[in-house]
Amino acid sequence: MIQTVQTTEDTLPQTLDEFLAWEPNDGFKYEWNDGEIIRFTGMNKEQAFICGVLNRLFSQKGYFENGTLIAEQNVHLSGIQLRRPDIAYFTFEQLLQGFPDS
Protein backbone atom coordinates (compact mmCIF):
# COMPACT_ATOMS: atom_id res chain seq x y z
CA MET A 1 0.00 0.00 0.00
CA ILE A 2 1.33 3.43 -0.96
CA GLN A 3 0.76 6.24 1.49
CA THR A 4 0.49 9.78 0.26
CA VAL A 5 0.56 13.03 2.16
CA GLN A 6 -1.77 15.80 1.09
CA THR A 7 -0.07 19.15 0.62
CA THR A 8 -1.12 21.69 3.22
CA GLU A 9 0.29 24.99 4.40
CA ASP A 10 2.04 23.07 7.20
CA THR A 11 3.84 20.74 4.76
CA LEU A 12 5.03 23.35 2.24
CA PRO A 13 8.79 23.87 2.01
CA GLN A 14 10.13 27.04 3.61
CA THR A 15 13.44 27.42 1.73
CA LEU A 16 14.57 26.97 -1.88
CA ASP A 17 16.69 23.96 -0.86
CA GLU A 18 13.67 22.37 0.81
CA PHE A 19 11.61 23.15 -2.30
CA LEU A 20 14.17 21.47 -4.58
CA ALA A 21 14.14 18.33 -2.42
CA TRP A 22 10.33 18.36 -2.08
CA GLU A 23 8.34 15.82 -4.09
CA PRO A 24 4.66 16.71 -3.88
CA ASN A 25 2.30 13.91 -4.85
CA ASP A 26 -0.96 15.78 -5.15
CA GLY A 27 -1.06 15.92 -8.97
CA PHE A 28 0.06 19.55 -9.28
CA LYS A 29 3.36 21.13 -10.27
CA TYR A 30 4.83 23.95 -8.24
CA GLU A 31 7.13 26.90 -8.90
CA TRP A 32 9.18 28.96 -6.44
CA ASN A 33 9.22 32.76 -6.63
CA ASP A 34 11.20 34.46 -3.86
CA GLY A 35 9.69 32.29 -1.13
CA GLU A 36 6.21 32.14 -2.65
CA ILE A 37 5.09 28.71 -3.85
CA ILE A 38 2.80 28.86 -6.87
CA ARG A 39 0.67 25.84 -7.77
CA PHE A 40 -0.16 24.91 -11.37
CA THR A 41 -1.75 22.00 -13.12
CA GLY A 42 0.52 19.95 -15.35
CA MET A 43 0.04 19.64 -19.08
CA ASN A 44 -3.36 18.42 -20.19
CA LYS A 45 -3.91 16.13 -23.20
CA GLU A 46 -4.22 19.02 -25.66
CA GLN A 47 -1.00 20.63 -24.42
CA ALA A 48 0.82 17.28 -24.53
CA PHE A 49 -0.39 16.86 -28.12
CA ILE A 50 0.96 20.33 -29.00
CA CYS A 51 4.27 19.39 -27.36
CA GLY A 52 4.42 16.31 -29.59
CA VAL A 53 3.70 18.39 -32.70
CA LEU A 54 6.47 20.84 -31.75
CA ASN A 55 8.89 17.95 -31.24
CA ARG A 56 8.08 16.54 -34.68
CA LEU A 57 8.47 19.97 -36.32
CA PHE A 58 11.80 20.57 -34.57
CA SER A 59 12.98 17.18 -35.80
CA GLN A 60 11.76 17.67 -39.39
CA LYS A 61 13.29 21.16 -39.66
CA GLY A 62 16.62 20.08 -38.19
CA TYR A 63 16.40 22.35 -35.16
CA PHE A 64 17.46 19.44 -32.95
CA GLU A 65 20.99 19.87 -34.32
CA ASN A 66 21.60 22.65 -31.78
CA GLY A 67 19.38 21.69 -28.85
CA THR A 68 16.23 19.99 -27.69
CA LEU A 69 12.80 20.57 -26.18
CA ILE A 70 12.25 19.30 -22.64
CA ALA A 71 8.91 19.21 -20.83
CA GLU A 72 8.39 20.45 -17.26
CA GLN A 73 12.08 20.81 -16.35
CA ASN A 74 13.25 23.07 -13.51
CA VAL A 75 14.58 26.39 -14.83
CA HIS A 76 16.36 28.83 -12.51
CA LEU A 77 15.65 32.33 -13.83
CA SER A 78 17.47 33.97 -10.93
CA GLY A 79 18.73 33.07 -7.48
CA ILE A 80 15.21 33.49 -6.12
CA GLN A 81 13.00 32.23 -8.95
CA LEU A 82 12.54 28.67 -10.19
CA ARG A 83 10.02 27.95 -12.94
CA ARG A 84 8.76 24.69 -14.43
CA PRO A 85 7.52 25.60 -17.90
CA ASP A 86 5.37 23.13 -19.79
CA ILE A 87 8.08 23.01 -22.45
CA ALA A 88 11.45 24.72 -22.84
CA TYR A 89 14.26 24.71 -25.39
CA PHE A 90 17.78 23.97 -24.18
CA THR A 91 20.93 24.16 -26.29
CA PHE A 92 23.36 21.27 -26.11
CA GLU A 93 25.83 23.63 -24.40
CA GLN A 94 23.29 24.15 -21.62
CA LEU A 95 22.75 20.40 -21.37
CA LEU A 96 26.51 19.77 -21.15
CA GLN A 97 26.66 22.21 -18.23
CA GLY A 98 23.94 20.20 -16.54
CA PHE A 99 20.24 20.66 -16.33
CA PRO A 100 19.26 24.11 -15.05
CA ASP A 101 18.48 22.84 -11.55
CA SER A 102 21.81 21.01 -11.10
Range(s) of the domain holding residue 80: 11-97
Q: Does residue 102 lie within any of the structural domains?
A: no
Domain CATH code at residue 63? 3.90.1570.10
Q: Does residue 39 lie within any of the structural domains?
A: yes
Q: Tell if the pTM clears 0.85, that is, is over it.
A: no
Q: Does residue 69 lie within any of the structural domains?
A: yes
Count of structural domains, the chain: 1
Q: Does residue 1 lie within any of the structural domains?
A: no
Tens-level pLDDT at each residue, the chain (102 residues):
333 344 555 578 999 889 989 988 888 889 899 999 999 888 889 988 998 999 899 889 888 888 888 888 888 888 788 888 888 888 888 888 875 554
Q: How do strand 28-33 and strand 36-41 relate by DSSP bridges?
A: antiparallel
